[in-house]
């Protein structure tokens, strides 16, 4: 559920800057760089930072970054921005200058990965990553806004480049005329190009010269000699940026399939090539990556983050407010520091807030970082000492909101509490409107002792341990 504008303005504007989190993986929650990296997508949807969505009231943009460290195998793409200060990587393949142009190596597939990538201090060392693939939910793609991709290449006449510079001569110099970069978004785990959800291409002439400086957006104004080009010839530069415009997705990405972004670059594509596997091109290219060259894809989506359930539960003279959070990309995309609980009275006035009210304790967080654990949701439970707020009897709305890791999408869900004149008159209702009951079927405020559906994490662990001992 997308946050209604008025509620989001109130909730999100109260999120302190301190909620941004740094991790051992270098990515920082709420980093303003995400908005800059995805600028063109946000401009197209009319994005409002206060509401977390565009002018249509539901579409946001998610920036997915390709983590390029292996040119021979598929590499992950996720919501994690490469670590600031990462040495730029320029990699290609060596070979004889007289060798036939070939195609097999002029391509790379990026697969959806529901976890962070852990970079190492040695730029030549491959990072550690979770090998699982997939999604936690169907990705609801915008059918009105196109997808944009960015890819960074240079030409290198001696064909050998590694992190930290070229060991033969410390320069990238060369020309690759009429080079086309094509991107394809496809659901599934094996790329075949048969049923793309979206695709697009752009053509440039690369004129590389290390001493020319970095002019990825430079133009000379000369007419481009290549058909279907972007109309300009690049100035000499270290690296040439290819901006690939794809059409809006033709459908959503199914949860069970996941997705791939396939990138290929070539100079000749036979018209009678139905399998698109006979393209040819020079092999004096270098693919660039790192925090300076962000190979990425901008996804306009309608479910950037979600709250599956809000469940307030009365127990031990407190109300425990439980929320279940996830993102289609994996639960690592939920910024737990952005979760806010607000309590509103019948008039819509705020009477308690987890950021400022002493009566709402810090959340009990449960989530998994195990392999395959990123599909499991984030569970956050806020103990609310509601008696400390001295509230009059009445009905109260429990509003829970959160943002994704990039702080580019937001969601909200509500539950309900009815407070009577005594503890035995407290009733709680989850986000579906169901009144909460004890495990034995009795109502929470009935006399019979019972174990509630939701209990604090420590007590839950003790109960599980006791049950294990009885089985022995």
Q: How far apart are CA 410 and CA 52, in angstroms?
A: 5
Q: Are 25 and 117 in contact (CB under 8 A)?
A: yes
Report pLDDT for 461. 46
Report pLDDT for 95. 58
Q: Are 195 and 264 in contact (CB under 8 A)?
A: no
Query: pLDDT tens digits for the chain (472 residues)?
Result: 333 333 333 333 333 333 334 344 557 899 999 999 999 999 999 999 888 899 999 999 999 999 988 888 899 999 999 877 666 778 887 655 555 555 678 899 999 988 888 877 766 677 788 777 889 999 999 999 999 999 999 888 765 544 444 444 456 778 888 899 999 999 999 998 889 999 999 998 888 876 555 555 444 445 556 755 555 555 667 789 999 999 999 999 999 899 999 999 998 876 655 555 567 888 888 899 988 899 999 999 999 999 999 999 998 889 999 999 999 999 999 999 999 999 999 999 999 999 999 999 999 999 886 766 778 899 999 999 999 999 999 999 999 999 999 999 999 999 999 999 876 789 999 999 999 876 555 655 554 343 334 444 444 443 343 444 444 4
- Report H helices in 13-120: 33-37, 39-45
pTM exceeding 0.85? no
DSSP strand pairing (107-112 vs 75-78): parallel
Question: In angstroms, how far is the first alpha carbon of the chain from the final one?
Answer: 45
SS3 (DSSP) at 285: strand
Q: Are 312 and 436 in contact (CB under 8 A)?
A: yes
Buried/exposed 266-287: b ≥16 CB within 10 Å, e otherwise: bbebeeeeeebeebebbbbbbb
- The residues pairing with 88 across neighbouring beta strands, listed in sequence order, are none
DSSP 389-440: GTPPSEEEEEEEEEEBTTSS-EEEEEEEEEE-SSGGG-EEE-TTSPBPBBTT
Report pLDDT for 141. 97
Torsion of CA 463, 337, 406, 398, to 10 degrees: 80
Report pLDDT for 69. 85
Q: Strands, E, within 279-404: which ranges?
A: 285-289, 296-301, 306-315, 318-326, 340-344, 350-353, 364-366, 378-384, 394-403
Domains of the chain: 60-301 (2.60.120), 306-471 (2.60.40.2360)
Q: Are 177 and 203 in contact (CB under 8 A)?
A: no
User: Dihedral sign, CA of 60, 107, 193, 242?
Assistant: positive
Question: How far does CA 322 lie from the centroid of its chain?
Answer: 24
- Stated as kind and residue range, the H or E segment containing 152 is strand 148-155
């Amino acid at each position: 559920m997308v946050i209604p504008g008025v509620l989001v303005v109130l909730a999100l504007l109260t999120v302190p800057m301190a909620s941004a989190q740094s991790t051992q993986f270098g990515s920082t929650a709420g980093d303003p760089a995400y908005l800059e990296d995805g600028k063109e997508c946000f401009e197209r949807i009319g994005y409002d930072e206060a509401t977390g969505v565009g002018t249509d009231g539901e579409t946001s943009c998610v920036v997915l970054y390709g983590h390029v460290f292996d040119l021979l195998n598929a590499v992950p793409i996720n919501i994690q921005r490469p670590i600031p200060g990462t040495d730029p990587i320029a990699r290609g393949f060596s070979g004889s200058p007289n060798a036939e142009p070939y195609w097999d190596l002029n391509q790379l597939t990026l697969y959806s990965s529901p976890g962070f990538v852990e970079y190492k201090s040695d730029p030549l060392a491959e990072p550690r990553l979770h090998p699982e693939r997939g999604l936690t939910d169907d990705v609801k793609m915008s059918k009105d806004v196109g997808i944009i991709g960015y890819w960074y290449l240079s030409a290198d006449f001696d064909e050998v480049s590694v992190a930290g510079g070229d060991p033969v001569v410390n320069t990238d110099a060369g020309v690759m005329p009429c080079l086309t970069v094509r991107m394809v978004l496809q659901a599934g785990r094996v790329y075949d190009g048969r049923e793309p959800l979206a695709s697009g291409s752009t053509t440039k002439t690369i004129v590389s010269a290390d001493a020319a400086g970095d002019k990825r957006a430079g133009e000379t104004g000369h007419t481009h000699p290549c058909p279907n080009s972007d109309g300009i010839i690049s100035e000499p530069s270290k690296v040439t940026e290819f901006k690939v415009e794809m059409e809006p997705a033709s459908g959503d990405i199914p949860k069970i399939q996941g997705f791939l972004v396939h990138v290929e670059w070539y100079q000749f594509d036979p018209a009678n090539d139905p399998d698109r596997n006979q393209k040819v091109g020079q092999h004096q290219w270098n693919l660039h990556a790192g925090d300076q060259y962000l190979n990425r894809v901008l996804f306009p989506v309608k479910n950037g983050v979600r709250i599956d359930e809000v469940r307030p539960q009365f127990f031990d003279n407190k109300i425990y407010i439980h929320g279940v959070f996830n993102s289609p990309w994996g639960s690592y995309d939920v910024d737990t520091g952005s979760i806010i609980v607000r309590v509103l009275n019948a008039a819509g006035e705020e009477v308690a807030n987890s950021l400022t009210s002493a009566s709402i304790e810090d959340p009990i967080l449960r989530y998994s970082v195990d392999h395959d654990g990123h599909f499991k949701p984030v569970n956050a439970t806020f103990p609310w000492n509601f008696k400390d707020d001295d509230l009059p009897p009445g009905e109260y709305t429990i509003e829970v909101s959160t943002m994704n890791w990039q702080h580019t999408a937001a969601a909200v869900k509500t539950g309900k509490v009815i407070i009577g004149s005594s503890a035995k008159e407290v009733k709680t209702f989850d986000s579906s409107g169901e009144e909460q009951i004890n495990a034995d079927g009795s109502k929470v405020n009935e006399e019979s002792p019972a174990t509630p559906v939701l209990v604090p994490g420590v007590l839950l662990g003790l109960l599980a341990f006791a049950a294990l001992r009885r089985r022995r």
